[in-house]
Homo-oligomer: A and B are copies of this chain.
Amino acid sequence: MRIGELARRTGCDVETVRYYEKEGLMAVPGRDAAGYRLYATRHLEDLQFIRHCRSLGMRLAEIKLLLDFRHDPQQDCDRVNTLLDAQIVRVEEQRRAMHTLLEQLHLLRAECASRQQVAECGIMRNLNQAAKGERCLCHE
């Protein structure tokens, strides 16, 4: 199949497929007489593997490692576990950060209920206090 069909079947952009090839994630495909890329089932599955890992928030460098494991299943899977653990820690940290952020934003938002002049706005007052190094609501 050509790149368009591959892209359609994986829900991936054509440009993205070429990008993955350039980055060394996708195996270099064959070419037809016109120079068009020709893909086989192997490529389709690798691409789906990549997209699935991306949907789990993994980085391309990590996916490259996982692809190596996928293509050489004799290896010890210890590093797969380590990689996943690191990913979990990273996402956990991000979620915590988002949570803190939300609390701060809600506190700040509550400072201005109605439409008024900026000079009277509780949100801007808080932000301006922070700018002066004073205490503000959102960063205790």
* Nearest CB on B from A131, distance (A): 4
Complex alpha-carbon distance, A81 and B45, angstroms: 47
B80–A121 CB distance below 8 A:
yes
A119–B88 CB distance below 8 A:
no
Q: Known contacts A105-B87, A127-B66: does B52 contact A139 (CB below 8 Å)?
A: yes
Q: Does any Cβ of B come within 8 Å of A16's Cβ?
A: no
- The A interface, classified by DSSP as helix, strand, loop or mixed, is helix
Complex alpha-carbon distance, A53 and B136, angstroms: 12
B78–A117 CB distance below 8 A:
no
* Nearest CB on B from A60, distance (A): 15
Complex alpha-carbon distance, A108 and B116, angstroms: 51
* Nearest CB on B from A101, distance (A): 5
> Which 8 A/B pairs are nearest by Cβ-Cβ distance?
A49-B131, A77-B121, A95-B98, A73-B119, A52-B130, A73-B118, A45-B131, A77-B118
User: B residues within 8 A CB of A121?
Assistant: 77, 80-81
User: B residues within 8 A CB of A104?
Assistant: 56
B84–A117 CB distance below 8 A:
no
Within 8 A of B (CB), among A70-89: 70, 72-78, 80-81, 84-85, 87-88
Complex alpha-carbon distance, A78 and B124, angstroms: 11
B45–A80 CB distance below 8 A:
no
